[in-house]
Structure 1
Amino acid sequence: MPGAGKTTVLAALADVGRTVLPEYTTPAGHLLDHDRHPHHDDEDSHLANWLRKADHLRGHPGPVWVDRDWLTALAWAASTGGLTRRADWVHRHLATGRLTPPRRWIILDLPPHLSLQRRAERLHPGHPWSDPTVLERLRAFYLDPPTHLAAAHPGLAELVAAVPRQRVDATASTDQLADAVGAR
């Protein structure tokens, strides 16, 4: 969830020597500054980012902690519309090996009102994740992706269900979050 502490936890992971792949990357795999992220309506740039991140992961020998992956692309579509189309895209790229399933997903769960509160200074009018109703749909998807994908793409729902998910209560302190995801 937005505002759940992903950046903080990933910084803690990087501080203890874990390999971290940021939310948006340059073609070389480096962090793309937040002010250079694509606009939320620029679907092509977002989808290209997921493929670029998958390319960086391919062949990496050890665990890599990823700030959002293609599950986020599905969550976005589930919360704003177009889940079937996005699920088809993900399934097609999984089938060709351009995307790969992770060993597990860690879901930092945060109620929408806290997401809005934590991000109050960074909210952008018109951005879907500034709307509590959209955040409710986002949270519902993250808590049970296979159920939400079942109608949109049953085959993808099965693939997603096979990946273990770990729900972490993101209302916890930063130290508790770090402990929960193995950052220390």
Structure 2
Amino acid sequence: MRSSDPSALVTVVEGMPGAGKTTVLSALARAGRTVLPEYTTPAGDLLDHDRHPRHDDEDSHLANWLRKADHLRGRSGPVWVDRDWLTALAWAASTSGLTERADWAYRHLTTGRLIPPHRWIILDLPPHISLQRRAQRLHPGHPWSDPAVLERLRTFYLDPPTHLATAHPGLTELVAAIPRQRVDAIASTAQLASAVDAVGAR
């Protein structure tokens, strides 16, 4: 599986909506770190937020994770990434269709279309704080506006292998082998950026 990895040390920042992933990684980019944004154009540039696919446009989301893997190949030096294919699994675990999405991830990982990162950093927040931080931009029809769905999302992020065990044993083994570090996202942006920077540089 590692044969499809880029030469760069890849640290993916995942976790709860509102935890500060994009803000933290923007701070690292300003500090000169190499950062791959959450949604990219075919050229690898940041895709403006108003052009992000709708939450129910799953094909576009999946295409984005594949495109990001392509952008990582051949890079040198540490790279920090705003979400990767683990997001697709987290979405399915919090809503529905985890077995199907796990099949998709495993198929593309074994063929080299997706890349297993060197580590994940999980920015963790309780659901009620996630909702508070996003109060001005919540959409009633979006599943991640529902506290119960957010609780399932958080539970998945804290222990993906347990949730994948019945959905796809092969993917469970692969995911369990990737180091995962939880970071409490209650901290300030500066503190989170320092923590994420330190982990990604190792």
TM-score by length of 2: 0.89
Q: Which residue does the alignment assign to 1:102? A: 117
Aligned partner of 2:28 in structure 1 is: 13
Matching residue's letter, 1:42: D
Match of 2:186 among 137, 152, 171: 171
**Structure 2 match to 1:46:** 61
Q: Where do 4+ consecutive residues of structure 1 move more than 3 Å?
A: none
Three-state SS of the structure 2 residue aligned to 1:151 is: coil
Give 5+ residue unaligned stretches, structure 1.
none
The offset of 1:151, in angstroms, is 0.5
AA aligned to 1:171 is: I
Which of 116, 129, 140 is equivalent to 2:155? 140
> CA deviation digits over 1:88-123, x for unaligned, max 9?
000000000000110000000011000000000010
Give the C-alpha shift of residue 11 in structure 1. 1.1
- What is residue 118 of structure 1 aligned with on the other side? 133
After TM superposition, give the deviation of residue 46 of structure 1 in Å: 0.5
What are the ranges of 5 or more consecutive residues in structure 2 without an aligned counterpart? 1-15
1:19 maps to a residue whose letter is: T
Any idea what SS the aligned residue of 2:42 has?
A: coil
Q: Give the deviation of 1:5 after TM superposition.
A: 0.6
Q: CA deviation at 1:180?
A: 1.2
Farther off after superposition, 61-70 or 98-107: 61-70
1:63 maps to what in 2? Answer: 78
| Per-residue deviation, residues 1-22 of structure 1 (Å, max 9, x unmatched) | 1000111110111012111111
The answer for the alignment partner of 2:166 in structure 1 is: 151
Give the letter aligned to residue 60 of structure 2.
Answer: S
> What TM-score does the superposition give when structure 1 sets the normalisation length?
0.97
Q: Counterpart amino acid of 1:87?
A: A
Asked whether 1:3 is paired with 2:11, we answer no
**How big is each residue's C-alpha offset from its partner over 1:46-105, in whole Å with a ceiling of 9 and x where there is no partner?**
100000000001121122111110001100000010000000000000000000110000
Deviation at 1:142, TM superposition (A): 0.3
1:162 aligns with 2:177: yes
The 2-side partners of 1:119 and 1:96 are apart by 37
Query: When the two structures are aligned, how many residues end up with a matched partner?
Result: 184
Following the alignment from structure 1 to structure 2, what is the Cα–Cα distance between the partners of residues 168 and 14? 19
Match of 2:97 in 1: 82
